[in-house]
Homo-oligomer: A and B are copies of this chain.
Amino acid sequence: MTEGDPPRKPPTIEDVARHIGLSRQTISRVVNNKGKLRDSTRERVLSAIQELGYRPNSLARGLVTSKSQVVALIVPDITQPFYPQIAKGVEDGAYEAGYSVFLSHTAGNVDREINALERLQGHRVDGVIICNPRVDDAALDQAINNAFPVVLVNRKLPGVRGTVIWPGYDSGSALATEHLLQLGLRDLIYIGLERGHQVQSEKIRGYREQLERYNVPFDSGRVLAAVESFQGGYEAMRAFLERGDAVDGVVAFNDSIAIGAMRAALDAGRRIPEDLAIIGFGGSEVSAMVSPSLSTIDVPLYSIGRTAVMELLNLIAGTEEQHGEVHISPKLQVRESTTKKT
């Protein structure tokens, strides 16, 4: 019966105004809670809005206010661990503040990252959070200066505006290493990534510091390079074990690698943790699900996300310095993989 009601245009503020014989401005006032107006008027307007199902058009509003009430989160790949939790923190914080959030993922591709940035610029987002940015400093700087405030997660950008959220990779790694050292283990190895980037080098720094603190010589030959995955950890560990060098403890770059390494060790007949203790990094859900469960460095991802939006909203509101660094401390989470049974 209902005749084809194709894209029926939504009601405008004008429609509401005419519906009750008032001016647009009055409607606008009650919608935005600005200025004083009679309660009875407010009531009438509110019920008219209700009746017509009026929703203020954010596009029009943004056009005049130069504020879109939108922020964006750029991640390399939302399916990778870390990002979903960060995204949740961002979403929650934004939601509470009345902001909507764009999600863009870049597939670790610089061009796509730049492209996303430009598109967001077109949408006039009020601010952007970028996780593990791949673009170079100049591009970032340009975006920050010309388009919108930026919060960086996992990337330090010296001399550039924008706030940086930086999980304490060095301290976390130190925590992990010290934990093994306190267990009396001395033949440690580190399984990291192929190419050193900022995160990797910080983690190795923490590892090395603790080694030296315990008077264990740091041997770069005992820092293995692995592909960033379960498989990568497996391969690296298997290859190392075949060398026959002594090892009683493994510090891994992240949980996936750690679990891969653990699996390889088990397959090679090592008992965990009796023969070999392993500790990961990240505090992923998986770490509790594997058997033996994996000790790890718990990174408070959700609060990283939340902190990131809060900082961003501050930047947007202009109530804060244009740059700064927020450090977030990870915690040691001890599980079976480093617990000698008594």
Chain A contacts to B: CB under 8 angstroms? 5-10, 53, 55-60, 62-63, 66, 68, 70, 73, 77-79, 83-85, 87-88, 91-92, 95, 100-105, 107, 112, 116, 118-124, 145-147, 230, 256, 259-260, 263, 266, 285-286, 288-291, 318
Copies in the complex: 2
Smallest CB gap from A79: residue in B:
B84
Residues of B within 8 A of A62 (CB): 59
- Asked if A79 contacts B70 (CB within 8 A), the reply is no
Residues of B within 8 A of A112 (CB): 95
- Asked if A88 contacts B95 (CB within 8 A), the reply is no
**A286 to B9 alpha-carbon distance, docked (Å):** 47
**A291 to B259 alpha-carbon distance, docked (Å):** 10
- Asked if A102 contacts B100 (CB within 8 A), the reply is yes
Shortest CB–CB separation between residue A335 and chain B, in angstroms?
13
- Asked if A123 contacts B59 (CB within 8 A), the reply is yes
- Asked if A121 contacts B10 (CB within 8 A), the reply is yes
Residues of B within 8 A of A260 (CB): 289
Residues of B within 8 A of A259 (CB): 289
- Asked if A100 contacts B119 (CB within 8 A), the reply is yes
**A84 to B39 alpha-carbon distance, docked (Å):** 46
Smallest CB gap from A73: residue in B:
B103
- Asked if A10 contacts B103 (CB within 8 A), the reply is no
Shortest CB–CB separation between residue A116 and chain B, in angstroms?
8
Do A91 and B104 contact each other (CB < 8 Å), given the known contacts A59-B59, A59-B123, A121-B10?
yes
